[in-house]
Amino acid sequence: MTTLETPRSEALDPITLEVLRSRLEAIGEEAGAALSRTAISPIVTESKAYSCTLLDGQGRVVIGAGQIDFHFGAAGHAVQSTIELHGASIAPQDVFMANDPHNGGGLHPQDVMVQRPIFHGDRMVAWVVMSAHMMDMGGMVAGSFAPAATECYQEALRLPPVRLFRRGVEEDDVWSIIRTNIRLPELVEMDLRSLVAGCHVAEEKLADLVDSMGADRFVEGIGTIRDLTEAEMRRRIGELTPGTYRAESWAEWDDDFFRIPCRLTVETDRLVFDFEGASPQTSHFFNSKPYIIESEMVALLAGIMARDLPYNDGIFAPIELRCPEGTIVNARPPAPIAAAHMDVALSASEVGLECVRLALAASPDAPGRRLLTGWGTGSGLGLHSWTGTGLDGNPDAFIMADGNWVGSSAGLERDGLALSGNIVGRESDYSFTDVEVLESWYPILISEKRSRPSEHGAGEHRAGGGNLMTFRPHGTDKLTGVMLGMRRWMPLPGHGGGTPGPTTEFVIHRSDGTSEDVATHASDIELSPDDLFEFRCASGGGFGDPLDREPAAVQRDVHRGVIDTEIAQRVYGVALDDGGQVDPAATADCRQQIARERLERAQPPAKPVSATLVSASEPANGADLPLYLGVVQRGNVAMSERSGAPLAVAPDHWTDGCPVLVEPRSDLGPEVDIRSYLDPATGYVLFVEAAPAGAPRSFESAPSRWTEAG
């Protein structure tokens, strides 16, 4: 943890501030533990899908605890909405709840935000917000994820900030409304009360802390920590090369793509993310809101740029999002929003982070450069929920959280991990629920659970394998499912020449021996006890050209069953002899042939550049400066670092001089192009993008020193 300097007063020296920060984090952890001990849903007790956020009296984040860091920023939005609505009527021992993203809620209707103000005498000095996923909040389908909904009114019971307790006394009418409108009232009420219990623990501990410090000193202390965090965050932004960086992603619905472009402007001490050009809001349930995208994006950004800083509003302060109203990134009612935190929000967060990665790749002195990876796994989840008669004979509903376990993208100097989250980011205890626990709680029998075999995202460093799991109904007549998957067609890209990974797949193996693919947003999927449901989670992208992977690492992957010999030779250019050992001469020949064939099959450069420009150009600021991984700026010329071949003249796009190998990826769905931008001298890959067939180039690195060199 970075030690923050220069407190406001002599009384608040660095040691005092560190003690305060540690006590606040401990309070958050204790509140989370109380929630975990009193809740009864496995998604809370086993998967730890909950959070505790402490905020100041204005609703600004002070600390976040628990596994779901996406909640932290959204908790601030919830509290600020509660303050705006209830204002001066807020009193000690009040407890509020909100769940409507259109009106003061959290990430989506099931992730309720239970909020309690903290008073010292008559002065409101802080807030605590507890959040967790509720297994049902009403609406047209059990579980409240309704892909078929076309309006928010169909999706769930939607509550603006309302009181669950008024001055410590239950609001019976509100509790009755909730119980009446949900399918699993006993289960959900117990989980809701566990959130209230967590708030109570945090309130008691915070009250003791404020009493021991004094209210003025406490408020000054949390404000000082916030201000110092902001100052350090702005300093780190200043290490990025100023300019504009652009990337695009797409959300999917059946065969349709919904565009999510982002243009990042890196200024002296702030980052501006502009989503102008996003698709109009739609009748599908994945419309989102700016505060949701910001909450998720900042959590991801902190994993790269602020891993050692206190997680508070100071990290958010230098960040600005511009999300056009009436689009999928800033939808208006009655747009459905049951998955407001998923497809669009996660893709928007990831495309914003991709812009930051492009900025880091162009910033030679930024420490975060060593943390570069391919795209994060969040926008490639393979979730699904199920309803049916439970093991106790009563109606039951559950979400298969094992669909979270996408194989992570590879990074600079390291492979990705199988069945994992991102390899760079906040440490988390979010974990698999044991097979035995799932089978004891839900009417299923699990047949298989392992890393998905495939070539994953190939590269000098490869991605990890996604989760492959199969199960069938057990102890019940049938199960009815709702699919909540992402990236059936559009793969997760890598970086530096790494290839995208395999996509999400759902398959039902019927009792008659037939198999059928299931769409990632299908509803009313029925399984009998003789049917087997299989889901294959996606994998992230590789890092670096696969031809640069150490042959010994490829050999090791073959021996471990990660890939087979065909993939080793076709993708990595590694030839193994009959004994499974690397044949160095054959490997060298194979790699040369692959690189040569790439150039033969590639489209010619959009704008070829003469080699004489390189010798005539002068290094910028006395040295070659990076534009991207393996691409440097020398004066006004972009050139391959590997071969010295010229690629572009400023201010043109640096790929204009690259041959482009276009390989359509069509798997009975919409065509997606995998485009590899090649070093014209060697045939090695500099950059790989995935985009809808015929779409324009989806990325750009334009540091100011490049655009001004033309």
The string of pLDDT tens digits covering residues 236-269 is 999 999 999 999 999 999 999 999 999 999 999 9
Domain annotation covers residue 316: no
In total, the chain counts a number of residues equal to: 710
Chain centre distance of CA 371: 16
Residues 97 and 209 in one domain: yes
Q: 635 and 517 in one domain?
A: no
For 403-460, the pLDDT digits (tens) are 999 999 999 989 999 988 788 876 666 667 889 989 999 999 999 999 998 888 999 9
| Structural domains of the chain, count | 3
The verdict on 202 and 100 lying in the same domain is: yes
Same domain, yes or no, for 137 and 219?
yes
**Domain-located, residue 271:** no
Look at residue 332 and tell me if it is in a domain.
Answer: no
Domain annotation covers residue 60: yes
pLDDT above 60: residue 381: yes
CB 310 within 8 A of CB 225: yes
Choosing from 498, 517, 541, the residue where a domain stops is: 541
Sheet holding 672-678, edge to edge: 660-665, 672-678, 685-692
Q: What are the backbone dihedrals phi and psi of residue 71, each rounded to the nearest 5 degrees, phi first?
A: -70, -25
Domain that holds residue 662: 602-707
Domain-located, residue 354: no
Eight-class DSSP state of 432: P
Closest CA to 64 of 428, 533, 604, 518: 428
Is 287 part of a structural domain of the chain?
no
Instruction: Decide if pLDDT at 3 tops 70.
Output: no
Structure tokens that stand for 679 in this block:
């070093």
Q: Which of 216, 232, 248 is the last residue of a domain?
A: 232
**Are 40 and 173 part of one and the same domain?**
yes
Q: Are 536 and 615 part of one and the same domain?
A: no
DSSP collapsed to 3 states, 608-669: CCCCHHHHHCCCHHHCCEEEECCEEEECCEEEECCCCCEEEECCCCHHHHCCEEEEEECCCC
- Would the pLDDT of 605 be above 70? yes
Task: Specify whether 482 is located in the same domain as 616.
Answer: no
**Pair 145, 46: CB distance under 8 Å:** no
518 and 642 housed in the same domain = no
pLDDT of residue 454: 84
Q: Where are the alpha helices (DSSP H) in 214-307?
A: 215-237, 290-305
In terms of DSSP bridges, do strands 532-536 and 50-56 run parallel, antiparallel, or are they unpaired? unpaired
Using the 3D structure, point to which of 541, 573, 591 is the last residue of a domain.
541
Query: What's the pLDDT band for 6 if we cut at 50, 70, 90?
Result: very low
Co-location of 610 and 520 in the same domain:
no
Compute CA 658 distance to the chain's CA centroid, rounded to the nearest angstrom: 31
Q: What is the pTM for the complete model shown? A: 0.95
Q: Is the residue at 687 inside a domain?
A: yes
Element of type H or E holding 612: helix 612-616
- How many other β-carbons are positioned within 10 Å of the β-carbon of residue 569? 18
- Enumerate the β-bridge partners of residue 470: 448, 534
Which of 118, 116, 153 lies closest to 131, judged by CA?
Answer: 116
Residue 448 region, left (φ>0) first, then alpha (ψ -120 to 50), else beta?
beta
Alpha-carbon gap, residue 75 to 199, rounded angstroms: 13
Q: What is the pLDDT of residues 354-377, one digit of tens each?
A: 999 999 999 999 999 999 999 998
CA distance 467 to 408: 11
43 with 180, same domain: the answer is yes
**Alpha-carbon span 87 to 161, nearest angstrom:** 12
Asked if 692 and 619 sit in the same domain, the reply is yes
Q: Is residue 660 part of a domain?
A: yes
SS3 465: coil
Residue 522 and residue 644 in one domain: no
